Chains A and B, each alone.
Chain A
Amino acid sequence: MVDGFNNYELEGFFDEMLDNSLEARPSALALLEKLDELNWDELKRRQSAAEKALLQAGITFNVYGADGGTERIFPFDIIPRIISAEDWKQIESGLKQRVHALNLFIDDIYHEQRIVKEKVVPEEILKSAGSFREQCVGINPPRGIWCHITGTDLVRDADGRFYVLEDNLRCPSGVSYVLENRQVMKRTFPQVFESSGVRPVSDYSSHLHQTLEYLAPDSVHAPTVGVLTPGIYNSAYFEHSFLAKQMGVDLVEGRDLIVDDGWVMMRTTKGFERVDVLYRRIDDDFIDPRVFRKDSMLGVPGLMEAYRRGRVALANGPGTGVADDKVIYAYVPKIIEFYLGEEAILPNVPTYICWDEKERGYVLDNLDKLVVKAANESGGYGMLVGPHASEAEREEFAGKIKAQPRNYIAQPTLALSRVPTIVGDHFEGRHVDLRPYILYGEDIYVMPGGLTRVALKKGSLVVNSSQGGGSKDTWVLSN
Chain B
Amino acid sequence: MLSRVADSLYWMSRYLERAENVARFIDVNYHMCLDIPDAGPDQWSPLINASGDMEDFSRRYGEFSRENVVHFLTLDMENPNSIYSCLMMARENARWIRQFITLEMWEHLNGFYLMMKESSKKPTESVAGHEFFMTVMTSCQLFLGILDGTMSRGEGWHFCRLGRMLERADKTSRMLDVKYFHLLPEVSYVGTPYDDILWASVLRSMSALEMYRKRYHQISPSQVVEFLVLDRSFPRAIHHCIMMADISLRAISGTPTATFHNKAEQRLGKLLAELDYSNIEEILECGLHELLDGLQKKLNALGNAISETFFAIQPFKVAGGRSNTQ
Contacts and interface: CB of A to CB of B under 8 A. Distances in A.
A464 to B, nearest CB: 24
A59 B237 CA distance: 39
Residue from B92, B100, B314 whose CB has the most chain A CB atoms within 10 Å:
B100
A5 to B, nearest CB: 35
A57 B107 contact: yes
A56 B99 contact: no
A58 B110 contact: yes
Interface stretch (B2-10, B57-65, B143-151, B172-180): B2-10
B289 interface: no
Contacts of B5: 250
Contacts of B110: 56-58
Contact of B99 (A67, A245, A256, A267): A245
Contact of B3 (A58, A240, A242, A256): A256
Nearest to A252: B2
Contacts of B286: none
Contacts of B39: none
Contacts of B34: none
A220 B289 CA distance: 58
Given A250-B2, A267-B3, A269-B310, A56 B107 contact: yes
A241 interface: yes
Contact of A242 (B97, B99, B114, B155): B99
A293 interface: no
B2 A267 contact: yes
Contacts of B2: 250, 252, 256, 266-269
Given A242-B99, A269-B252, A253 B107 contact: no
Interface string A239-257: 0111011000011110110
A55 interface: yes
Contacts of B1: 268-270
A251 B99 CA distance: 7
A58 B106 contact: yes
A373 to B, nearest CB: 35
Nearest to B1: A269
A238 B4 CA distance: 17
Interface string A53-74: 0011110000000010000000
B95 interface: yes
A232 interface: yes
Interface in A328-378: none
Interface of A: 55-58, 67, 227, 232, 237-238, 240-242, 244-245, 250-253, 255-256, 266-270
27 contacts: A55-B114, A56-B107, A56-B110, A56-B111, A57-B103, A57-B107, A58-B106, A58-B107, A58-B110, A67-B319, A232-B95, A232-B96, A241-B97, A241-B98, A242-B98, A245-B103, A250-B2, A251-B97, A252-B2, A253-B4, A256-B3, A267-B2, A267-B3, A267-B4, A268-B2, A269-B6, A269-B252
